[in-house]
Amino acid sequence: MALRTILTDGDPALHKACRPVTNFDQRLHDLLDDLKETLANANGAGLAAPQVGILRRAVVVVDAEDNMLELVNPEIISQEGEQEGFEGCLSVPGRWGVVKRPMKVRVRAQDRDGNFFEAEGEEIVARCFCHEIEHLDGHLFTEHTDRLYTTEELDQMMEEQGE
């Protein structure tokens, strides 16, 4: 396992559509292991292969039980409701925006050996599924918001809300 460098906005790899994974081999397993290690190191909620420069449809997402789910060739198959909240991205460090997402999503994906499975996420996990799967089509959350806030502005707003 190895830490990989997380690319930041402006890198062309973040704006390209990724190809499906067709070989469920050691190389894919290494990629998924590295994504998990890199995500844990960055203390994030999700990471997509293109964020480390690999244009393949693979993501890792932290679920409600704090486990890292590996999703290969993921697709959202159903969604329900709506939520609006602050969102950030390891590829857009120090910037936050208010983004509307479904409250609940169901995803179909393959595991590292190619077996299909379905997973469901609500609230933050639903947000994360949507955000990471979007990365696979070259999209960033910044496309869904008119205004980006700095971490200081976000902290200030959270403090005011807490009072």
CA angle 15, 57, 10 (to 5 degrees): 20
**Least distance between Zn ion and beta carbon 33 (Å):** 19
- Regarding 71 and contact with Zn ion (CB under 5 A), the answer is no
Residue whose C-beta lies closest to Zn ion? 89
The dihedrals phi and psi of 49, each to the nearest 5 degrees, come to -50, -40
**Least distance between Zn ion and beta carbon 89 (Å):** 3
Count of residues that interact with Zn ion, criterion CB under 5 A: 1
- Regarding 89 and contact with Zn ion (CB under 5 A), the answer is yes
Q: Which is nearer to Zn ion, 89 or 133 (CB)?
A: 89
Q: Which is nearer to Zn ion, 42 or 119 (CB)?
A: 42
Active site residues: 132
Chain residues in the site for Zn ion (CB under 5 A): 89
